[in-house]
Structure 1
Amino acid sequence: MLRIGSIVWGVGDVSRAIQFWSAALDYEPLRKPSIDWAILVPRTGGGPQLAITAVTSQAQDHQRHHLDLYAEDASAEIERLLGLGASRVEWRYPPDADYVVLADADGNTFCVVEKRTAKPDPDHV
């Protein structure tokens, strides 16, 4: 089962985007932002994360936004999506990558992220 975990938003100015989207959506940083990366979450209630990342491309020239789809079994979901018409995208992955980049039928890229649901710890009730 897939779920939208993050909407990844490419911007030229991360600090300005944090201010704008926090006010617009009533979100707040999940943790201290860096100069080129931040994760915003709803102040109250649920909803997907908004991951803000610094990019150098111009919005009119390059896809700057994509979805991170969270899966408990990423391999199975990737195969299912490929069967639906997705395609693999050539990508330079870091050694510890927990994601795979795919493209939909129109060429829009998205990530499938291995994200297992945390099981309750019986020792910490």
Structure 2
Amino acid sequence: MARIRDLVIDCRHPAPLARFWAAVLEDYRVAPYDEAELARLRAIGVDDPEDDPSVLLEPRAGGRPRIFFTAVPEPKSVKNRVHLDLDADDFAAELDRLAGLGAAQVAEHEDLVVLADPEGNEFCLVRDPATG
């Protein structure tokens, strides 16, 4: 049986988008750059991790899925075919927090709010019917 190993998100600027998602997702962090990773980047002509063409977001406790933000040349042009659904203990507070991080509200429905990250990738914040 197959298992999810990684989620890969195409984007224009991986480093800032990875930092956005690390702030959004409580159990994830941008993977630290050790000397071996910095040497790998230098070998492909990248001197600054800010210009890394594929930035890894990893679960703080290890495991999967890992999330890669990978540079692609073309801009996002249509609705995502896959998106994340998030929830939170305090829906209203989380909606405010996400907006403060740079998420834009796209649409509101009875059970969820559709948001977009700084590069326009849609994701949803789902209301828990028990807490509203």
TM-score under structure 2 length normalisation: 0.41
More strand by share: 1
More helix by share: 2
